[in-house]
């Protein structure tokens, strides 16, 4: 079976429904990117098909959006696959990733199929937030919201994945991840994420200059290289600001979580006031809210950088 840490209650409830043959044919699994939605969906699919070995199966179909959105044509392709007979036995599971990206028209085109799929077909939609999902879709699905993992669950996950980790790095990962396993993987293995850490540090170093060219230059760099990492940039900025505030208050570097940039944190703590740091936190939270409301991301980041410069 799949090795999943956390989400025990939801997983047990779903498995009991499979065993009792009372499982709904439509499901929405909601949670932050990296929290484990795909794993929970795969486990549910394997239970539905009565499989115990974690591998690819012909009757577990994953649909992932390759464009900016999932439109009517994409949904028609999914419906066409749904209407095909199962390959092995009498059941089939469709897992639709990035459900947040389904257009309103696409959702409307999907309604009838979700309400009355062919016998033995189960549809699982994964999304970070259900705010953009139509009520008519929600009413036809069971909704399962995955919460962040506890510190103990995260420690188990980290130790299982990175066995030789030291205590200082463990503290850093626990603080940065905020209970999201995928953030740990990014921090430890993703080169793009290491580049993002370097980029956000430069932004904080340059933001005191009050030079509007800073906004222009960083806006261009972010849009050219990091369009798909907006939320990661916000998380890293907040993580750095946390260290700067703690060091300003306590003056002790042992409380700095980003130990690899201790000297930079010290320098920033001298150059930034508490008012400036609190203003940055407010700006970041406003930016998060705007992104959640699907405000144009490029424009949102331009406004964020300008507000950080003026704060």
What is the domain partition of the chain in residue ranges?
Answer: 8-145, 190-310
* CATH number for the domain whose boundaries are 8-145: 3.40.50.300
- Answer for the pair 36, 146: CB distance below 8 angstroms, yes or no: yes
| Sequence-distant contacts of 240-244: CB under 8 A, at least 24 apart | 240/200, 240/201, 240/204, 240/265, 240/268, 241/204, 241/277, 241/280, 241/281, 241/284, 242/175, 244/204, 244/268, 244/269, 244/272, 244/277
Tell me the C-alpha distance between 62 and 287, whole Å: 31
| Sequence-distant contacts of 168-175: CB under 8 A, at least 24 apart | 168/259, 171/257, 172/257, 172/258, 172/259, 175/239, 175/242, 175/257
What is the per-residue burial (b if ≥16 Cβ within 10 Å, else e) of 15-51? eebbeeeebebbbbbbbbebbbbbbbbbbbbbbbbeb
| pTM, full prediction | 0.87
Mean pLDDT for 161-184 is 92
Packing angle of the helix pair 191-206, 230-250 (nearest 10 deg): 60
Tell me the C-alpha distance between 213 and 216, whole Å: 5
Q: How many CB atoms lie within 10 A of CB 118?
A: 13
Tell me the C-alpha distance between 284 and 277, whole Å: 11
Tell me the C-alpha distance between 277 and 125, whole Å: 39
| pLDDT of 47 over the 90 cut | yes
Percent of the chain at pLDDT exceeding 90 = 74
The whole-number pLDDT of residue 50 equals 95
| pLDDT of 18 over the 80 cut | yes
Lowest mean pLDDT: which of 99-103, 125-129, 296-300?
Answer: 296-300
Q: What is the pLDDT of residues 225-272, one digit of tens each?
A: 888 888 899 999 999 999 999 999 999 999 999 998 999 999 999 999
Indicate the SS3 state at residue 66.
Answer: coil
Percent of the chain at pLDDT exceeding 70 = 100
Domain 190-310 has CATH 3.40.50.620: no
């Amino acid at each position: 079976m799949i090795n999943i840490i956390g989400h025990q209650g939801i997983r047990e409830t779903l498995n009991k429904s499979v065993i009792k043959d009372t499982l709904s044919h439509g499901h929405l699994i909601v949670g932050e990117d990296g929290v484990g939605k795909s794993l929970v969906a795969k486990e549910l699919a394997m239970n539905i098909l009565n499989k115990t070995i974690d591998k690819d199966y012909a009757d577990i179909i994953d649909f992932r959006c390759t464009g900016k959105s999932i439109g009517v044509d994409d949904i028609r392709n999914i419906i066409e696959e749904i209407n095909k007979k199962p390959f092995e036995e009498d059941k089939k599971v469709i897992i639709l990733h990035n459900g947040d990206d389904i257009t309103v028209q696409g959702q409307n085109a999907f309604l009838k199929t979700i309400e009355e799929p062919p016998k033995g077909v189960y549809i699982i939609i994964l999304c970070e937030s259900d705010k953009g999902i139509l009520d008519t879709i929600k009413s036809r699905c069971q909704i399962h919201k995955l919460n962040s993992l506890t510190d103990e669950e995260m420690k188990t996950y980290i130790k299982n994945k990175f066995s030789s980790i030291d205590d200082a790095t463990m503290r850093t990962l626990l603080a940065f991840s905020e209970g999201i396993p995928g953030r740990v993987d990014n921090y430890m293995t993703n080169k793009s994420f290491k580049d993002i850490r370097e980029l956000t540090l430069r932004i904080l170093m340059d933001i005191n200059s009050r030079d509007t060219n800073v906004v222009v230059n960083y806006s261009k760099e972010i849009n050219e290289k990091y369009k798909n990492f907006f939320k990661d940039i916000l998380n890293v900025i907040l993580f750095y600001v946390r260290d700067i505030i703690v060091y300003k208050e306590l003056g002790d570097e042992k409380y700095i979580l980003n130990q690899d940039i201790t000297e930079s944190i010290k320098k920033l703590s001298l150059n930034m006031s508490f008012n400036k740091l609190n203003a940055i936190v407010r700006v970041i939270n406003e930016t998060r809210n705007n992104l959640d409301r699907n405000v144009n991301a490029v424009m949102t980041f331009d406004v964020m950088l300008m507000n950080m410069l003026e704060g």
